Amino acid sequence: MSLIDLKKSSVSKAKKKKVTADEFIADAENYAAGKTSVVSSAKTNLDQPIMTKETDWPKNQLKKCKSTKRHATFTLSEDAIVQLNLLSKESQLAKSHIIRILVNECCHEKNWLYYLNQKLIN
């Protein structure tokens, strides 16, 4: 079997975040723990809508990219559905994308459980 399909498929260079030597070294522990690593270029930035057209993707990447997300079903209240529709209309983002942003923000809170409880109280 040929090894050629392992060649780098994209030549675009994402700008690396500046790090100090100590940060670079300590980051090995993030990598070992499966957390987001400063050296990783495969990080998804959920703050920016992804507008790439599928037709722009290389054929061999299309299948892979499609598999990075999957369908999930949740139960929402009528109010939440109306609010989500409104948010989607005003931001021009897909509803799923808005949910991903909110989940991501919540997870970046240091004490995410406390953060969620505070939201429930308010």
Partner 1 sequence: MMILVGGEKGGSGKSCLAQNLAVYFTRDKNAIVLMVDCDPQRTTSDWIQARNTDPTLPAINCIQLYGKIRNDLLSLNQHYDYVIIDCGGQDNLALRAAMSVADHVVIPLRPKRRDLKTVPHMEDMLSTCKMVNPKLLASFLIAQCPALPSQLKRINEAKEVCSSYGINVLNAVTYNRNIYDDSEEQGLSVLELDPEGKAALEMTAIAEELMAMTPDDSYEFN
Residues interacting with partner 1, by CB under 8 A?
A: 1-4, 6-8, 16, 18-21, 24-29, 31-32, 37-42
DSSP sequence for 51-116: ---GGGS-HHHHHHHHTTS--------HHHHHHHHHHHHHHT--HHHHHHHHHHHHHHSTTHHHHH
In whole angstroms, the minimum distance from the beta carbon of 28 to partner 1 comes to: 5
Q: Which is nearer to partner 1, 11 or 120 (CB)?
A: 11
In whole angstroms, the minimum distance from the beta carbon of 49 to partner 1 comes to: 25
CB-based contacts of 8-12 (< 8 A; 24+ apart in sequence): 9/58, 9/60, 9/61, 10/58
Q: Which is nearer to partner 1, 34 or 122 (CB)?
A: 34
Q: Which is nearer to partner 1, 31 or 112 (CB)?
A: 31
In whole angstroms, the minimum distance from the beta carbon of 10 to partner 1 comes to: 10
Q: Which is nearer to partner 1, 28 or 86 (CB)?
A: 28
In whole angstroms, the minimum distance from the beta carbon of 101 to partner 1 comes to: 25
Interatomic CA distance for residues 66 and 48, integer angstroms: 18
